[in-house]
Structure 1
Amino acid sequence: MASRFLLEIIDRKLKEIMKNESIFGGKILILSGDFRQCLPIKEFATRSEITDLTIKKSNLWNSFLKLKLTENMRADKNEKEFAKNLIEIGDGKEESEYITIHNYAILSPFNTIVDKYNEEIIKKFPGEQYDFLSIDETEQNSALQITPEILNSLNCANFPKHKLTLKINSVIMLLRNLNLSEGLCNGTRLQVTNIGKNVLNCKIISGDKFGEQTLIPRITLIEEKKFPFILKRHQFPVQLAFSFTINKSQSQTFEKIGIDFTQESFAHGQTYVALSRAKSWNKIKIKLNENENKIKI
């Protein structure tokens, strides 16, 4: 997009050429463009400075008759959804370029494999990284003297890890029921939209409350059965969920899935559940060990 200064130069030059002090020397000037496209460029400029460069900030702008074109002539006429999505993106209604990330998942029977995928994906995921460390302690009346380092290393199912790494737009899953009426239950998937020290702003991306905004606070979680003592962990009750276990995927449907079967399913129905998360075979990719060509049913 040309800057307002170019428009104002055209105005001055036409006045000089036509020897007429009317706007644009009395000539009719037709402009066309799309404010959804790239703005004028100015090195090291702030947002407000770039906005000030647009022709809308020129005193000449109010002299134009504005006409709006409504049909995208470049897009295929049969691709109405594509044209609609382009307009929504241009208008800022699509909240991020990761808007459809909830439609994809990597599944595995085992938490250890899931954790590896999530660690690799969050490393490659764009954006600033935020690391949150939990505060771990035992019951005050516990006779066991356990160092913080040992407490930090302890993990179990449906319990947040000591270290949680997040980025804006990353996908997470709730590990506790927080508010069932608001759709915040164990297994709910969310997309992080803003990150605070003690609160996460998120968009729900699964279940009946899909698309709604919510807040996830840090809370103190208690594990009483897994260890010979009561463990208290103050942390966000979530885990990364680019990848998650087959059991956690139940009741959900995805556009595309990858299934890691390098370790066989260990419980009844897991293979069936994993394969039935997508709508067709061409939406499923399966990873096996190099010497295998079949999956265990």
Structure 2
Amino acid sequence: MRTDANQIQFADYVLSLGGGTKNDENDLIQIPDEIICNTNLEESVFGQAINTRNYDSLFNRAILAPLNVNVDKINAKVLHMLNRNPVEYASIDTAESNKTNSDDNIQMAEYLATINPPELPPHILKLTKHAIVMLIRNLSISRGLCNGTRLMIISMQKHVLECKILTGDKAGKTVFIPRSTITCENKYQFTLHRHQFPIKLAFAMTINKSQGQTFDFIGIDLMNRCFNHGQLYVAFHELNP
């Protein structure tokens, strides 16, 4: 835990990131040695909570990364730490051509299953009890089930998930999430319909998706560079003082 003096120093560093004064002549930013993780990042952020079965502390922790491809890899690793044999849910995918001359390939389920745009849940959704997930669609604003709401899996059935809301004014409430059909339009030469649970794993998330949320402990994966100093500032700013 940082001392008061270190907290002030860290706060000054974060403010300087936001002001863009930490950039060098190559527009790069030097990260202080004392906050660099030299061991496995997933283990450093989630290992103790998982090993001690302190599952309620998982939602106060997160790993942030600039790109979805990194987020997906990190989420898979943390899920494996939690349970090496998760339950797999396969989606039902259909497509409608946006052109007069349709391409028969888009009707092939094998092809549609390979498509993984960020606005859709994956074709194969792997889940386990205590997994942290995030809604990717508004289901019921009055019940606190909005796009970006984080949940913890309590139990799983074939067509419904029992979850606990972790964020917002409905935090602590138990809810049931059914499968639903989510549509992806204007991204391909066809419209994709995916029938799946409208969630994604959320041990890790993109820096942009984390805006407005706060955590007690975060790791920042910089295997890919941030797009600008403002994005790095957002990542550091999500940490509770």
TM-score, with normalisation over the residues of structure 1? Answer: 0.59
Q: Is the 8 A contact 1:190 1:204 kept in 2?
A: yes
The answer for the alignment partner of 2:39 in structure 1 is none
Q: 1:54-203 alignment to 2 at 5 Å? A: 97-126=54-83, 129-139=86-96, 143-146=102-105, 147-203=108-164
Give yes or no for contact 1:128–1:168 (8 Å, CA) kept in 2: no
> Which structure has the larger Rg over C-alpha atoms?
1
TM superposition shift of 1:223: 0.9
Please name the residue that 1:289 is paired with: none
In 2 relative to 1, CA 116–127 (structure 1 residues): closer, same or farther, beyond 3 Å? closer
1:19-70: CA deviations, max 9, x gaps?
Answer: xxxxxxxxxxxxxxxxxxxxxxxxxxxxxxxxxxxxxxxxxxxxxxxxxxxx
Cα offsets for 1:153-179 (capped at 9, x unmatched): 011122111010000010001111111
Q: CA deviation at 1:221?
A: 0.8
Alignment-derived partner of residue 85 in structure 1: none
Q: In 1, Cα distance between the equivalents of 2:209 and 2:203?
A: 12
Measured in 1, the distance between the counterparts of 2:92 and 2:239 equals 39
Question: Which aligned pairs between 1:12-23 and structure 2 lie closer than 5 A?
Answer: none
Matched, 1:254 2:215: yes
Choose between structure 1 and 2: higher strand proportion. Answer: 2
> 2:199 corresponds to which residue?
238
Q: Distance in 1 between matches of 2:118 and 2:82?
A: 25
Work out the CA distance in 2 between the residues paired with 1:161 and 1:195.
17
Q: Which has the higher contact order (CA 8 A, sep 6+)?
A: 2
Deviation at 1:128, TM superposition (A): 5.0
Q: Report how far residue 135 of structure 1 moved.
A: 0.7
Counterpart of 1:247 in 2: which secondary structure? Answer: coil
**Where does 1:262-277 land on structure 2 (aligned, <5 Å)?**
262-267=223-228, 269-277=230-238
Q: What per-residue deviation string (whole Å, max 9, x for no partner) do you get for residues 200-229 of structure 1?
A: 000011112111111111001111111100
How far apart are the structure 1 equivalents of 2:161 and 2:228?
Answer: 34
Share of identical aligned residues, percent?
Answer: 45
User: CA offset at residue 126 of structure 1?
Assistant: 3.2
Task: Give the TM-score, by structure 2 length.
Answer: 0.73
Counterparts of 2:187 and 2:226, CA distance in 1: 23
Distance 1:140 1:274, change over 3 A: closer
Moved over 3 A (4+): none
| Residue 261 (structure 1) shift | 1.5
Q: How many residues are matched?
A: 185
Alignment partners' CA distance in 1, 2:224 and 2:215: 22
